Amino acid sequence: MKRVITYGTYDLLHQGHINLLQRAKALGDYLIVGVTNDSFDRERGKLNVRNNVLERVEAVRATGLADEIIVEDYVGQKIDDIQKYGVDIFAIGSDWEGKFEYLREYCDVVYLPRTEGISSTLLRDESQKHIRVGIIGAGRIAKRFVQEVSYVNGVNLVGIYDVNEEVASELSTINDSVRVYPKAKLLIDDVDAVYVATPHLSHYEYVKSALLAGKHVLCETPLVLNGSQAQELYDLAQNKHLVLLEANKTAHCPAFNHLMVMIKSGVIGEVVDIEASLSKLLLDKNLREFDSAQAGGSMYELASYPLLPIIKLLGPNYEDLSLFSRINNGVDIFTKGVMRYSNAICSFKLGLGVKTEGNLIISGTEGYAYVPAPWWKTDYFELRYEDQNDNKKFFYKWDGAGLRYEIQEFISCILNNRLISVRLAPKESIAMANIMQQFAERKNTIEI
């Protein structure tokens, strides 16, 4: 029996896919079809796949051409599969010609002709509704947004507003289609959604104005520094049937989400302790981060990242939070927080003038998860156990500045009429704002 294997995403299954499968089938007696997993697609930069892996597997099965269907989860799996299934021929579309010559060591490699004039990309483009997006705030992070938005389908970046029109004009040169607006209201009126990237203290007013105008909002983290304001904004978004999403890039990256799902599934038992740290040594003390009048300091600037795994795994209902801060010129250059839950204890460390090891450790009753610094840019983590033979290592790819993940989730929520993202739910975002408020009011806070 001659065994043939082929791989693909098979998104929006079309005649071109069917023709390829028929050609692969004709090469042998038994056809194995590998369908890429959702997380693997994201790792490879495919952020616009419409159908999830279960839908794509069923679509391939419905063709009746596959004798066996497997899921492709990781780089290097093709070699493993060829050996595991005793494959004689590896077949793939001709647009990949020359890319899989390394597999000839294990089997024959055949490049199949593609069907001209049809592809999943073309189908997505033809059916794609485009969301007109405007940027409010032309600071450092907004520049990365302009660059990252090109990796996500369904986005038409049309304009930018900043109180400093000259800065906005400089940013618009990155993309010729971006128009500079003289007023925020004019921008809001002219788009479907806005990305708010202004200093922290102005988030509330800009987000509220956009929501009241009926626009979806992606707002830089932290959303606001007050729990009541956060609750108000999310209630307003729900009432007006709009998407409001906090732009925490770690919350939306594939590796971090995989880690959270694994921990919740019990791979290290019950979580009893979480330690998360993040610090930067910024040399320029004239930056906004060191200005108390602009909500500078490590807590406001960094806390939403270390708080993320704690709140996602243990929830927003902690019993007690104690904060310890070193204050210089009105801003905290270092803060340590200790959170107590009914059955767990957590701690986080933040620094803008103090450097610390920036890793993440999640301790459980059966093992622990370790994410090395910089853990917020999750591209690798380990699950470690008493018996080291049981340890597992997971490798991922972090693309660009990471903003493409949050942009893709935001646009997906809008297009699919999904008002709440499980990656960073309103209750989690509100919990973070409550913690910011506790720090602002110096409740349970000790200066060191």
Encode pLDDT of 58-91 as tens digits. Answer: 999 999 999 999 988 877 899 999 999 999 999 9
User: Is pLDDT above 70 for 438?
Assistant: yes
The stretches of 274-402 forming alpha helices (DSSP H) are 298-302, 304-314
Q: Which CATH superfamily is domain 254-397 in?
A: Dihydrodipicolinate Reductase; domain 2 (3.30.360.10)
Q: 123-250 belongs to which CATH class?
A: alpha beta
Confidence of residue 42 (pLDDT cuts 50, 70, 90): low
Confidence of residue 123 (pLDDT cuts 50, 70, 90): very low
Instruction: Say how many C-beta atoms besides its own lie within 10 A of residue 94's C-beta.
Output: 12
Nearby residues of 428 by Cβ (< 8 Å), 6 or more positions away? 308, 311, 312, 316
Encode pLDDT of 403-419 as tens digits. Answer: 999 998 999 899 888 89
Rounded to an integer, what distance in angstroms lies between the CA atom of residue 323 and that of residue 298? 12
Encode pLDDT of 125-172 as tens digits. Answer: 555 678 999 999 998 898 999 989 988 878 999 999 999 988 888 888
Whether 3-122 shares its CATH topology with 123-250 is answered yes
Residue whose token pair is 């301790």: 363
Encode pLDDT of 325-342 as tens digits. Answer: 999 989 999 999 999 999
* Tokens coding 126: 């033809």
Rounded to 10 deg, the angle between the 203-212 and 227-239 helix axes is 10
For residues 396 and 182, the model is more confident at 182
- State the Cα angle at 197 between 191 and 200, rounded to 5°: 130
Nearby residues of 283 by Cβ (< 8 Å), 6 or more positions away? none
Encode pLDDT of 204-262 as tens digits. Answer: 999 999 999 999 999 999 999 999 999 999 999 999 999 999 999 999 988 898 899 89
The CATH number assigned to the domain with range 3-122 reads: 3.40.50.620
In the chain, where the domains are located = 3-122, 123-250, 254-397
CB 386 within 8 A of CB 367: yes
Rounded to an integer, what distance in angstroms lies between the CA atom of residue 429 and that of residue 210? 18
* Tokens coding 339: 């959170």
- Count Cβ atoms within 10 A of the Cβ of residue 169 and give its class: 0-12 exposed, 13-18 middle, 19 or more buried: middle
